[in-house]
């Protein structure tokens, strides 16, 4: 299958459209490398407490392969804790999380599946250049023996996130939005089954917020990768989501498409999504 990335000037999209002729296109090389095997996710009755603080209370959510689900909730509602459970950084007190039908806490899981995460703080390594940050996973796991291939994949990932030419720049020299996009490129080269975005627009200006939103939409449309976005940015949620899950006090209040959420009769959901300034 041939693919090609074209810069779309009309909608401001970063990744833009991918068509089927990518032989000479650097971005296409990453897309050829990505396996694009979208997987589903099942969160089955997750409970988690920190001392007396019961953060997650029986969270239940099913996500279809290739779907982009936004978990929307106010600060302190348990969104980031839920995300850390999905990526395997925390273990639930009870309940299970299944990706492609396999429990993520099963030791065999990591042999077959990769979950990547774009952290709120970007979590780039300041001692490494942008390209070294993106290439870290490939080099440490010896995915390619050929250094030229790594360079090719890294360049193509940076091109996809709109950061071509920034390979040798140190993370301290780029803006918060750029760091977020480098983190997205780093997540992409892991060839993940699932990408998680933790507050992808927190602290970004409206232009950069739009760019991040476009990037998530492009990954959804062009790579068909399953994505979970955790945010309290309502505009972003309605812009990128196939479905939105509203999380409040450790419980999923409602799950539905943007239209279903807007038409919800649940007063707590309506209170949360109503415009703050009218």
Partner 1 sequence: MNSVMSFFRVTGGLLGLFMETLYWCKAAFRNSDKVFAQLYIIGNQTLPVGALIALFSGGVLALQAGPTLAQFGLEENVGGLVGLSLVKEIGPIMASILIAGRVGSAMTAELASMSVYEEIDALNTMDINPVRFLVMPRFIATVIALPVLVIYMDVIGWFGGAIVSVVNPEIHLSLDVYYRNLSELVDFVAVLNGLIKAMFFGIIISIVCCYVGLNTKGGPREIGSSVTKAVVMSFVLVLVSDYYITRILLFLNLD
Residue of the chain from 38, 47, 137, 170 that contacts partner 1 (CB under 8 A): 137
Q: Are 94 and 55 in contact (CB under 8 A)?
A: no
Encode 19-42: b = buried (16+ Cβ within 10 Å), e = exposed. Answer: eeebeebbbbbbbbbbeeebbbbe
Q: Is 141 in the site for partner 1 (CB under 8 A)?
A: yes
Q: Is 66 in the site for partner 1 (CB under 8 A)?
A: no
**Residue whose CB is less far from partner 1, 21 or 121:** 121
Q: Is 120 in the site for partner 1 (CB under 8 A)?
A: yes
Cα distance between residue 238 and residue 225, in whole Å: 18
List binders of partner 1 among 67-96 (CB under 8 A).
84, 87-89
Residue count, binding to partner 1 (CB under 8 A): 20
Q: Is 39 in the site for partner 1 (CB under 8 A)?
A: no
To partner 1, the closest distance from the beta carbon of 16 in angstroms equals 27
Cα distance between residue 217 and residue 271, in whole Å: 26
Residue of the chain from 36, 37, 38, 136 that contacts partner 1 (CB under 8 A): 136
List binders of partner 1 among 178-197 (CB under 8 A).
190
Residue of the chain from 123, 143, 202, 234 that contacts partner 1 (CB under 8 A): 123
Q: Which stretch binds partner 1 (CB under 8 A): 66-74, 119-127, 223-231, 248-256?
A: 119-127
To partner 1, the closest distance from the beta carbon of 123 in angstroms equals 4
Q: Is 35 in the site for partner 1 (CB under 8 A)?
A: no
Q: Which stretch binds partner 1 (CB under 8 A): 95-103, 111-119, 162-170, 252-260?
A: 111-119
Name the residues that contact partner 1, by CB under 8 A. 84, 87-89, 110, 114-117, 119-121, 123-125, 136-137, 140-141, 190
């Amino acid at each position: 299958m041939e693919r090609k990335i074209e810069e779309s000037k009309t909608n401001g999209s970063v990744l833009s459209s991918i068509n089927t002729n990518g032989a000479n296109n650097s971005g296409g090389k990453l897309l050829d490398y990505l396996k694009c095997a979208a997987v589903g996710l099942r969160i089955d009755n997750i409970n988690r407490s920190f001392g007396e603080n019961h953060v997650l209370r029986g969270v239940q959510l099913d996500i279809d392969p290739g779907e982009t689900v936004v978990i929307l909730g106010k600060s302190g509602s348990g969104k980031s804790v839920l995300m850390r459970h999905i990526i395997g950084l925390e273990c639930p007190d009870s309940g299970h999380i299944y990706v492609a039908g396999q429990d993520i806490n099963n030791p065999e899981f990591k042999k077959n599946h990769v979950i990547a995460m774009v952290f709120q703080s970007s979590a780039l390594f300041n001692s490494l250049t942008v390209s070294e940050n993106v290439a870290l996973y490939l080099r440490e796991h010896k995915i390619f023996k050929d250094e030229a291939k790594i360079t090719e994949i890294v360049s193509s990932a940076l091109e996809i996130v709109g950061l071509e030419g920034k390979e040798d720049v140190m993370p301290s020299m780029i803006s918060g939005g750029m760091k977020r996009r480098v983190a997205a490129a780093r997540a992409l080269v892991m060839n993940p089954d699932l990408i998680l975005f933790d507050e992808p627009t927190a602290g970004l200006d409206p232009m950069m917020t739009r760019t991040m939103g476009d990037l998530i939409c492009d990954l959804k449309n062009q790579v068909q990768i399953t994505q979970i976005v955790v945010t309290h940015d309502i505009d972003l949620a309605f812009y990128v989501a196939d479905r939105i899950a509203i999380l409040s006090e450790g419980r999923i209040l409602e799950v539905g498409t943007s239209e279903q959420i807007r038409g919800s009769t649940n007063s707590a959901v309506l209170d949360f999504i109503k415009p703050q300034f009218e």
